[in-house]
Structure 1
Amino acid sequence: MSLSDTQLRAISGKAYTGKPELADRDGLSVRITPAGTITWQYRFRIDNRASRLTLGRYPDLKLADARKHIPELRNSLANNIDPRVFWKQRNTFADRVTLRDCCEQFLTARSSALKPGTVATYQSCFRAHLFDAFADRKVESITLGEWIDFFDKKAVTSRVTAGAILRQLKTVLNWAVRRQMISVVDVLMLRVSDVGSASKVGSRVLTILECGKIIRELDKCRATKTVTNSIKACLLSGARISEVLKSKRADYDLESMIWTVPTLNSKTNMPIRRPISPALLEILQEQWNIYHSQWTFPAPNDLKKHGNIASVNKLVREIKPRVDIPDWRIHDFRRTLSTRMSEAGVLPHVTEKMLGHLLGGVMAVYNKHDWLDEQVAAYELWTERLKLAALGDGKVVVLERTG
Structure 2
Amino acid sequence: MCTGQIMQAKITKTNVDRLTKGQILADKEVRGFVARKLDSGAVTFGYRYRDKMTGKQRWLGLGLHGSITAEQARTLAKKAAGEVADKRDPVAEQEDARAEAKKAVQAAINTVDAVLDAFEKDHVDGLRSGDQVKQAFTNHVRPRIGERSIYDLKRSDITSMLNAVKEEAGPVMADRVLAHVRKAFNWQMTQDNEFNSPIVRGMAKTKPKDRARKRTLSDDEIRDIWKALDEWEGPACYPRFVKSLLVAMTRRNESARLHTEELEGDLWTIPASRYKNKRDHVIPITPTMRALIDWKPAGRRNSWFVFSTTDGEKAFSGFSKAKKELNKLIAKIRKAERRPAMKQWQLHDLRRTGRSLMSRAKVDADHAERCMGHVIGGVRETYDRYEYLDEKRAAFEALAGMLEMILKPPGQTSAAELDGGKSVDSL
Q: Which amino acid aligns with 2:147?
A: D
The CA deviation at 1:315 is: 3.2
The structure-2 alpha-carbon separation of the partners of 1:290 and 1:216, relative to structure 1 and needing over 3 Å to count, comes to farther
The CA deviation at 1:194 is: 3.1
**Could you report, residue by residue, the CA deviation over 1:351-395 in whole angstroms, capped at 9, with x for unpaired residues?**
333234456678778877654332212111111122233233359
Aligned residue in 1 for 2:160: 153
Output the CA distance in 1 between the equivalents of 2:228 and 2:105: 59
Matched, 1:296 2:333: no
Q: Is the 8 A contact 1:176 1:182 kept in 2?
A: no
**Could you report, residue by residue, the CA deviation over 1:16-46 in whole angstroms, capped at 9, with x for unpaired residues?**
xxxxxxxxxxxxxxxxxxxxxxxxxxxxxxx
Q: Which amino acid aligns with 1:173?
A: F
Q: In the alignment, which of 140, 143, 149 is matched to residue 128 of structure 1? A: 143
Structure 1 gaps, min length 5: 1-10, 15-59, 61-91, 396-403
Percent of residue pairs identical: 20
The structure-2 alpha-carbon separation of the partners of 1:340 and 1:298, relative to structure 1 and needing over 3 Å to count, comes to same
Q: TM-score, normalised by structure 2?
A: 0.56
The structure-2 alpha-carbon separation of the partners of 1:369 and 1:119, relative to structure 1 and needing over 3 Å to count, comes to farther
Aligned residue in 1 for 2:267: 258
The CA deviation at 1:225 is: 4.3
Q: Is the 8 A contact 1:346 1:378 kept in 2?
A: yes
The CA deviation at 1:302 is: 4.4
Q: Is the 8 A contact 1:206 1:333 kept in 2?
A: yes
Output the CA distance in 1 between the equivalents of 2:118 and 2:297: 45
Q: Is the 8 A contact 1:212 1:391 kept in 2?
A: no
SS at match of 1:149: helix
Moved more, 215-224 or 373-382: 215-224
Aligned residue in 1 for 2:193: 182
Q: TM-score, normalised by structure 1?
A: 0.59
SS at match of 1:306: coil
The structure-2 alpha-carbon separation of the partners of 1:334 and 1:165, relative to structure 1 and needing over 3 Å to count, comes to closer
Q: Is the 8 A contact 2:305 2:314 kept in 1?
A: yes
Output the CA distance in 2 between the equivalents of 1:117 and 1:345: 36
Q: Is the 8 A contact 1:248 1:296 kept in 2?
A: yes
Q: Is the 8 A contact 2:306 2:312 kept in 1?
A: no
Equivalences for residues 310-321 of structure 1 within 5 A: 310-311=321-322, 313-321=324-332
Q: Is the 8 A contact 1:277 1:376 kept in 2?
A: yes
Moved more, 94-103 or 314-323: 94-103
Q: Which amino acid aligns with 2:134?
A: A
The structure-2 alpha-carbon separation of the partners of 1:207 and 1:168, relative to structure 1 and needing over 3 Å to count, comes to closer
The CA deviation at 1:253 is: 1.3
Q: Which has the higher contact order (CA 8 A, sep 6+)?
A: 1
Q: Is the 8 A contact 2:363 2:398 kept in 1?
A: no
Q: Is the 8 A contact 2:366 2:376 kept in 1?
A: yes
SS at match of 2:215: coil
**Could you report, residue by residue, the CA deviation over 1:176-196 in whole angstroms, capped at 9, with x for unpaired residues?**
344x433783646x12x3364
Aligned residue in 2 for 1:282: 291
SS at match of 2:269: strand
The structure-2 alpha-carbon separation of the partners of 1:367 and 1:119, relative to structure 1 and needing over 3 Å to count, comes to farther
Q: Which amino acid aligns with 1:226?
A: C
Aligned residue in 1 for 2:118: 105
Equivalences for residues 3-402 of structure 1 within 5 A: 13=55, 96=106, 98=110, 100=112, 102-115=115-128, 116-118=130-132, 120-121=134-135, 123-124=137-138, 125=140, 127-133=142-148, 135=149, 139=151, 147-159=154-166, 160=171, 163-178=175-190, 180-182=191-193, 185=196, 187=198, 190-191=200-201, 193-194=202-203, 196-197=205-206, 200-208=211-219, 210-212=221-223, 214-215=225-226, 218-219=229-230, 225-254=236-265, 257-285=266-294, 287-288=295-296, 294-299=304-309, 302-307=311-316, 308-309=318-319, 310-311=321-322, 313-322=324-333, 326-327=342-343, 328-357=345-374, 371-394=388-411
SS at match of 1:167: helix
Q: Which amino acid aligns with 2:119?
A: F
Say which one has the larger Rg.
2
In terms of fraction of residues, the more helix-rich structure is 1
The CA deviation at 1:148 is: 2.0
Output the CA distance in 2 between the equivalents of 1:153 and 1:296: 39
Moved more, 92-101 or 263-272: 92-101
The CA deviation at 1:335 is: 1.5
Q: Is the 8 A contact 2:234 2:322 kept in 1?
A: no
**Could you report, residue by residue, the CA deviation over 1:157-179 in whole angstroms, capped at 9, with x for unpaired residues?**
2443654443223212322344x
Output the CA distance in 2 between the equivalents of 1:363 and 1:183: 53
Q: Is the 8 A contact 1:277 1:380 kept in 2?
A: yes
Moved more, 332-341 or 155-164: 155-164
The CA deviation at 1:247 is: 0.8
Q: Which amino acid aligns with 1:296?
A: V
User: How many residues are matched?
Assistant: 295
The CA deviation at 1:295 is: 1.6
Structure 2 gaps, min length 5: 1-52, 57-91, 93-101, 413-427
The CA deviation at 1:12 is: 5.8
Output the CA distance in 2 between the equivalents of 1:130 and 1:224: 29
**Could you report, residue by residue, the CA deviation over 1:63-106 in whole angstroms, capped at 9, with x for unpaired residues?**
xxxxxxxxxxxxxxxxxxxxxxxxxxxxx999947454543332
Q: Is the 8 A contact 1:212 1:386 kept in 2?
A: no
